[in-house]
Amino acid sequence: VLHTAAALFAARGYRDTSVKDVADEVGMTKGAVYHHFPTKEALAIAVVEAHYAHWPVLLEEVRAEGFSAIDTAMKMLDRAADVFGSDPVVQAGARLQLERSLIGAPLPTPYTGWTDLLTQLLTEARIVGDLHEDVTPEQAAQTLVATFFGVQHISDTLHARADIAVRWREARALLFRSIRA
Amino acid sequence: VLHTAAALFAARGYRDTSVKDVADEVGMTKGAVYHHFPTKEALAIAVVEAHYAHWPVLLEEVRAEGFSAIDTAMKMLDRAADVFGSDPVVQAGARLQLERSLIGAPLPTPYTGWTDLLTQLLTEARIVGDLHEDVTPEQAAQTLVATFFGVQHISDTLHARADIAVRWREARALLFRSIRA
Amino acid sequence: VLHTAAALFAARGYRDTSVKDVADEVGMTKGAVYHHFPTKEALAIAVVEAHYAHWPVLLEEVRAEGFSAIDTAMKMLDRAADVFGSDPVVQAGARLQLERSLIGAPLPTPYTGWTDLLTQLLTEARIVGDLHEDVTPEQAAQTLVATFFGVQHISDTLHARADIAVRWREARALLFRSIRA
Amino acid sequence: VLHTAAALFAARGYRDTSVKDVADEVGMTKGAVYHHFPTKEALAIAVVEAHYAHWPVLLEEVRAEGFSAIDTAMKMLDRAADVFGSDPVVQAGARLQLERSLIGAPLPTPYTGWTDLLTQLLTEARIVGDLHEDVTPEQAAQTLVATFFGVQHISDTLHARADIAVRWREARALLFRSIRA
DNA sequence: ACTCACGGGACATCCCGTTTTT
DNA sequence: AAAAACGGGATGTCCCGTGAGT
């Protein structure tokens, strides 16, 4: 139901996905869709929220593996890159965030969740001496997020995300060489 | 004329900028605008092309200052960050590239111009031994472009580009430490 | 149940009162409402009929007080004005009659009931010599009904019926001076 | 153009007159209609304003005939009754005022214009001694307006305004007998 | 007796682009 | 070269009513 909308939003964007398109794809009528979501915006918001719901789960998984803080950060981003390459809901959420200006309603503030998480992990890394001395956790976190977003977006634009995992590993190798002690 | 369109595209995006809006802002009627640009797409394309016309000029300027290849690359990106923070046409071009799917007509392929340029400069740097041995020029170039784009976009989204220059300097410090020999 | 519908019809009118609004206000679902009234029109008709059910009761009350025919007419109208000012069902009925064109089904013909009643009372008054000689009962009745309706509607429109009792007393003083012998 | 809308509004009311109906009747498309009026509300407002534009003209005409104040009032209302019976724009204006709650935008306050005008004329009449001593100009004016509106509306509802002129003359005969000295 | 999911259809609004006129 | 009128088409939203299930 909401999955279909995510797929369409991911493929065509918010404005070019009409409610009728969603309804047709699900095999319902517009009226039926409007029974579940009061508004097209509500649909988009639901998708974006589903997107953000992925990360806490992922964090638990990675934490369960017992890496050091800095490796947890790295693994998180690697796994996230994989998810961006495969999960339509995550892809749709990312795209809708890009198009947030087209959506009337307020969406969760993007990027800050990741930045905060990484800042925290890198602060822990600093304490155990895993962080390069010239680096502040917050700046490093912001740069990681920017690069991650950039890699993901360019991979999407140029190669339909086919090469995202590879590209991200290349980029993060460069970054972590400067970040790690 | 086209400047106004750029400002509106930058501020509201392609779909939310109607031809009438542009006409009103210029003080003409829609009909008049249609005498200069056959279609709305044409307007967008003209803006994007104006965006890309900036870089060759910038490159000449930086080259005239006689830096090494790797410093030329760095300076180019620093100057570009400044331009992204101040020039409406450049901002509009960036936004329209983001929204390229909404525009029917084909736009110039994004990112590859920068990637090619940086790859070339870094290849020159390799020859003179300025490049870190673990790094390939192309990968480094791709990462630089990704980070630059990410920084620029996040700065735009969260702080209306007010902090783009600072953020970019922070990010590129990290990157060039790994790139430079 | 039907009371709630009346209140909403009175406040917002037929078209702007959805069946869902009524259901929500009562604390039921639309489906439940449709188990009591087969259609929205049926609801409206029920309200209008409840409106008309007031007058025979009122007439009995006034008759019980033993006034002359002409005074009965006057008292009836005075009491009716009070009811228009306070009873939501009566108000709703009046409004729905105004909006009768929006309602598909046929409603009882408005005004004629009152006109007939007043004509009859004034005819009785003529017999006992209480009626001014220049006046025919039917014309006087029609004028009374028109004025009453006008006063009631204008009071509703301009002052939410707050001044209906006062305004009607002023108007009927004028009218009865010409009607009474 | 606007005449057609008036005719439809008068015949079917605001809500039951779709913009497409108007367009079809004029032989244009919806798009064309929206070129002249930005909104359906704007159409309604234009019609209502055209309605109110009638009365100053009428007043001039009647004043030109040199009646006394009280006769001017009477003649004005008689002529207005005739216009209500024949002019579609006036009829539409009256109906739209009835349905003002369905129209989002604010309409000119109804009834007060007439009440003020008549109050003024009757005040003049008082000075020359044409007014019955038991009557205050304002109350008489309010009653006249209420009766006029009631007669007009009932005539519309029951007989499609065919008998409005006759009915009004009957009613005003009754009223003016009490109003005149 | 009541809930929930759904269908079907209407309608205001908007916008791009063309035609007609000045 | 520009203004004004207009066409055509899409889309979000809303609402009445039905029907299966409880």
In tens, the pLDDT along A124-170 reads 999 999 999 999 999 999 999 999 999 999 999 999 999 999 999 99
Provide the token pair at C11: 């406040």
CB C6 within 8 A of CB C92: yes
What is the structure's pLDDT at A105? 85
Extract the residue ranges of chain D whose pLDDT is less than 50.
none
Residue C79's closest CA among C180, C71, C45?
Answer: C71
Please give the span between the terminal C-alpha atoms of chain C, in angstroms, as a whole number.
Answer: 48
Chains touching A (at least 3 CB pairs under 8 A) are B
Which run of H or E residues covers position B16?
none
* Burial environment of residue C80 by CB neighbours within 10 A (0 to 12, 13 to 18, 19 or more): buried
Q: Is the dihedral of CA B33, B36, B39, B42 positive or negative?
A: negative
> A78-92, B7-21, C66-80: which range is least confident on average?
B7-21
Q: How far is residue B157's CA from residue A100's CA, in Å, rounded to a whole number? A: 10
Q: How far is the CA of D32 from the C1' of F6 (A)?
A: 5
CB C145 within 8 A of CB C115: yes
> A22-31, B79-88, B138-147: which range is least confident on average?
A22-31
Q: DSSP class of residue A107?
A: P
Q: Return the closest nucleotide (C1') to the Cα of D104.
A: E12
Q: What is the CA radius of gyration of chain D?
A: 18
Q: Are the beta carbons of A134 and B177 separated by less than 8 Å?
A: yes
Q: How far is residue C94's CA from residue C152's CA, in Å, rounded to a whole number? A: 10
CB C77 within 8 A of CB C172: yes
- For an interface test with D, which of C118, C154, C169 has the most D Cβ atoms less than 10 Å from its Cβ? C154
Confidence label for B155 from pLDDT (cuts 50, 70 and 90)? very high
Q: How far is the CA of B30 from the C1' of E17 (A)?
A: 10
Q: Give the count of beta carbons closer than 10 Å to the beta carbon of residue C119.
A: 21
**Which residues on chain D are in Cβ contact (under 8 Å) with C151?**
143, 146, 150
Listed in sequence order, the residues at least 6 apart from A87 whose beta carbon sits closer than 8 Å to its beta carbon are A54
Provide the token pair at A59: 């964090």
Confidence label for B103 from pLDDT (cuts 50, 70 and 90)? confident
Locus of tokens 């009829």? D91
Question: Does any strand E atom come closer than 7 Å to the Cβ of C30?
Answer: yes
Provide the token pair at B81: 């960050």
Residue A45's closest CA among A110, A105, A111?
Answer: A105
Which run of H or E residues covers position C9?
helix C2-12
CB D105 within 8 A of CB D149: no
Helical segments of C37-163, H only: 40-64, 69-86, 88-98, 112-127, 137-159
Confidence label for C153 from pLDDT (cuts 50, 70 and 90)? very high
At residue A149, what is the residue type?
Answer: F
Beta bridge partners of B180: B131
Confidence label for C37 from pLDDT (cuts 50, 70 and 90)? very high
Which run of H or E residues covers position D141?
helix D137-159
Q: Chain F: nucleotides under 7 Å from a protein CB?
A: 1-20
Q: How far is residue C168's CA from residue C157's CA, in Å, rounded to a whole number? A: 15
What is the structure's pLDDT at C46? 95
* Percentage above 70 pLDDT, chain C: 100
Distance of CA B38 to the CA centre of its chain: 26
Beta bridge partners of D180: D131
CA-nearest residue of chain D to C151?
D146
Check pLDDT > 80 for residue B1. Answer: no
Q: What are phi and psi of C38, to 5 degrees?
A: -65, -20
Residues B10-34: pLDDT tens digits? 998 998 899 999 999 888 999 899 9
CB A36 within 8 A of CB A50: no
Q: Give the count of beta carbons closer than 10 Å to the beta carbon of residue A164.
A: 23
